[in-house]
Amino acid sequence: MTPSEYLSRVPLVRSETERLAKAWRGFGEKEWAAPTFCPGWVARDAVAHITTGADFYANSIRRALEGLPPEPPYGADAKEFQAMRKEKGDKLLAGPRPALMDAFEASAREVQGALDAAREADLGKLGWHPRGLTPVDAWIGLRLVELVVHDWDIRFGSDPKARPAAPGVEGMLTFLPATQCRHFSVREKPALGARFLFRTTRPERAWTMIAEGGKASFTPDAGGPHAASIAADAEALLFLNYGRLARGEAEKAGKLKAEGDLALADELLGVLFAKY
């Protein structure tokens, strides 16, 4: 959860990209047309989504590193950008599968090049995102999420017992405290003024989230006092935050437990686990 730790995950973005490129290159028509976890999407839809996402990731990161004003790679605003992105995705889907994979790998190289160029002094610089200006350190985590979670989405279609890649889970967990704070700060929420302890297993991590004045921040210091504590399996906590797991299901399986002021914990988790 330090600048050096954030940057240490950049090579993982590369290795996950290479792993997925090899796997998806080996897909036949049956695998490309298989349903995914995401309603209405088959595998090729997910890959096209990651590909067009990489285009604007690279643009936003490079502009941030170069000190240029944050703006979308195309379109005058978020609405126009999303429409144009959909058009680009539709063109990829209409073409042959090898061309889609060529585009995936080309866009991935652009993102990787931008991330490789980042230094600790750059991590707080802001890049354009449809949901709001986003610091460079967060883009590393966002790219990992795109790769690891959508890889699982694709594999889930043919194997509901599929698990996300273990290195990806550990890598994404590095960015989760800051991600939770960003989500909390921009979502509708009740007035909360409290400290919450998060602890995960597999791997073991701990941090304190401080909610105050409609915003949230975190510290890796797990020392109290805390109004409530939330203990969770790391994989489950990630999937809860990214809309891949229901809270009741996690609690029933013993993968999520809140203690302390349960009313406050319930309000906080209702915000964090809202539709992603």
| Domain 178-272, CATH among 3.30.450.80, 3.40.50.720, 3.30.1050.10, 3.40.228.10 | 3.30.1050.10
Can you give the pLDDT at residue 189?
A: 82
Distances (CA, A) of 225 to 36, 136, 211, 237, 246: 42, 32, 13, 22, 29
Q: Bin 256: left if φ > 0, else alpha if -120 < ψ < 50, else beta.
A: beta
Strand order in the sheet with 256-260: 215-219, 205-212, 194-201, 228-233, 256-260
Q: Where are the domains of the chain?
A: 3-161, 178-272
Joined together, the tokens standing for residue 225 give: 């006092």
pLDDT tens across the length of the chain (276 residues):
788 999 999 999 999 999 999 999 999 999 999 999 999 999 999 999 999 999 999 999 999 999 999 999 888 889 999 999 999 999 999 999 999 999 999 999 999 999 999 999 999 999 999 888 999 999 999 999 999 999 999 999 889 999 999 999 999 999 999 999 999 988 888 888 999 999 999 999 999 999 998 899 999 999 989 999 999 999 999 999 999 999 999 999 999 999 999 999 999 999 999 886
- The model's pLDDT over 10-67, given as tens digits with 9 standing for 90+, comes to 999 999 999 999 999 999 999 999 999 999 999 999 999 999 999 999 999 999 999 9
Q: Bin 25: left if φ > 0, else alpha if -120 < ψ < 50, else beta.
A: alpha
CATH number for the domain whose boundaries are 3-161: 1.20.120.450
Could you tell me the end-to-end alpha-carbon distance of the chain, in angstroms, rounded to an integer? 23
